[in-house]
Amino acid sequence: MTSKKIKEYSFDTLFEDILSECANNFDISEKYKREYGEKLIVIKLLLNLGNLYKINNPEEIEILNREIELNLNHNDMLSGYIFFVSQRKHFDHLWSYMRWYKDSYKDFLVNSIRFFSNILVDINMLRKEIPIEENFHAIFHDILDVEFISQEPYVKTRFLWENFQKLVTIQNKYIICVKIKDNVLKVANRQDTTDTQKIIKTIFNKRVPFQNKNKNYEIIE
């Protein structure tokens, strides 16, 4: 696989995987279809922002912070919504509190953009190294389950809908869990690409054997 020239796994491809999963795998009520529709809107927003800003190095985070803050401050519809919700009879927070919380929303957007940008970097690094016939998975922050497959683009991503709320817990680092089927090879914190490189090095250079069907696989000590 390392000798093949393959297209980069991108924001568009990731969203296509998530849409395909929704279309093919959900047999649910109208209520839950509406709920998943709302969740897809959030995911599409975050992936579109990631595709727009394309964070390539840590130095760009401050620029991103400023641009997102500027966009939020000039978003008339968002400001109007914050005012409207704060005036509802059964809503417990003041307008000033809601305006203050817009900063936290900015942090959520910035962290999400960085998260999805970094995940794409990790996926493209991993798929150059992972033997695709071995049922390898990489799970990112318990949000995305990425399987490495034999057909282009050699990756298939599944969104873990039961953990949707974990999107708001994303910070500047996240957890990667690499598995063969249900066998965990490595769990590690990821803050930058050097951490991903260490994961790859650990998986392929430091192993102990285990048996699986007719093949010898190896699990990290």
Q: Please give the pLDDT value at position 26.
A: 56
Q: Model pTM?
A: 0.82
151 CB-near residues (< 8 Å, 6+ apart)? none
Looking at residue 59, its amino acid is: E
**What is the pLDDT averaged over residues 100-117?**
92
Residue 81 has pLDDT above 90, yes or no: no
Judged by DSSP in three states, 200 sits in helix
Residues 6+ apart with CB under 8 A from 154: 1, 6, 127, 132, 148
The confidence band for 85, taking pLDDT boundaries of 50, 70 and 90, is confident
Q: Which residue has the higher pLDDT, 133 or 163?
A: 163
Strands (E), 63-205: 136-140, 144-148, 155-159, 174-180, 183-190
For 186-212, what is the mean pLDDT?
77
- pLDDT, tens digit (0-9, with 9 covering 90-100), for 137-174: 999 999 999 999 888 888 999 999 999 999 999 998 99
Q: In the chain, what are the domain boundaries?
A: 11-219
In this predicted structure, what is the pLDDT of residue 207? 44
